[in-house]
Structure 1
Amino acid sequence: SQVALQIRQQETNVEARQQQVEQAKAQLSTADLNLSYTQVRAPYDGFVTKRNVQLGTLVQAGSSLFSLVSPEIWVTANFKESQLQHMNPGDKVEISVDAWPDMKLEGHVDSIQMGSGSRFSTFPSENATGNYVKIVQRVPVKIVIDKGLDPNHPLPLGLSVEPKVTVE
């Protein structure tokens, strides 16, 4: 009977230890989940810019950590409306970069926006006096760069370039 009591106590201890193991597994699962939240995965390849945090910084949900820039590079050139008559998507473009005069890039016209820059600006210009003044409008043209970029030295955003479109 003493032996039976000891066996019953040991069985109870085993059950308690099994519950502790299950609790530890649940805690491990929660810790793994929390660890996965510490990894930031980008939705596409790119370059990290404007980093607002350092390694090990505690952040809150929704905090802006950094900006991700796509490696797909294009130029938005604002051409005068009078320059668009013969311009079409697919036209070849030679691009010179002001910051690096020796760099010559090649690209093509991807698209021509269906409206002038003033129509899409935050504050469109209005003529409140009713006087008619003809102002040459500028139309954004997207130019995709095809050749000449060095993948080891990406172009910084916002550089000034001079595109020359070959129209047919």
Structure 2
Amino acid sequence: MPEGNGTVALAFSGGLDTTVCVSLLKEEYGYDEVIGVTVDVGQPDYEFEEAEETAEALGVEQHVVDATEEFADLCMEAVKANADYQGYPLGTALARPVIAKAILSVAEEEGCSAVAHGCTGKGNDQLRFEAVWRDSDLDVIAPVRELGLTREWENEYAAEKGLPVE
């Protein structure tokens, strides 16, 4: 197993993908420590509680960053511009770069050598995170995409490792 790659800041929801990523970032990528970062852009409180409980069960330092004001300001600009995509608001598209910047800020403050996410590679979330992160000197890690993980494999891995997933 590789060792000594330092600390990685992970976009952390506490769901299956990011819970599995914590273990893989240590075992497969050789990171000494994983820091979970959950960014508040207005989602329900229970999502933060679940992320914090999962981080605690994994022994992961957890940061919660309040980015609600920045996100709201961005949404107001989008509303003023009548921005939409095929009749749908751009909430997710606007939120991801805000989240990515907040995670990058924590990573830099904590002296991380990398940032990571649990996106699958099927949607645009990965691009929105990585577009922000690629402008930094930090390595960008995407275990779910890079290792070609499936939900079935993740569930089996989580069960085998005793990871706290529902």
Q: Normalised by the size of structure 2, how large is the TM-score?
A: 0.17
The structure where helix makes up a greater share of residues is 2
The structure where strand makes up a greater share of residues is 1
Larger relative contact order (CA 8 Å, sep ≥ 6): 2
Between Structure 1 and Structure 2, whose CA radius of gyration is higher? 1
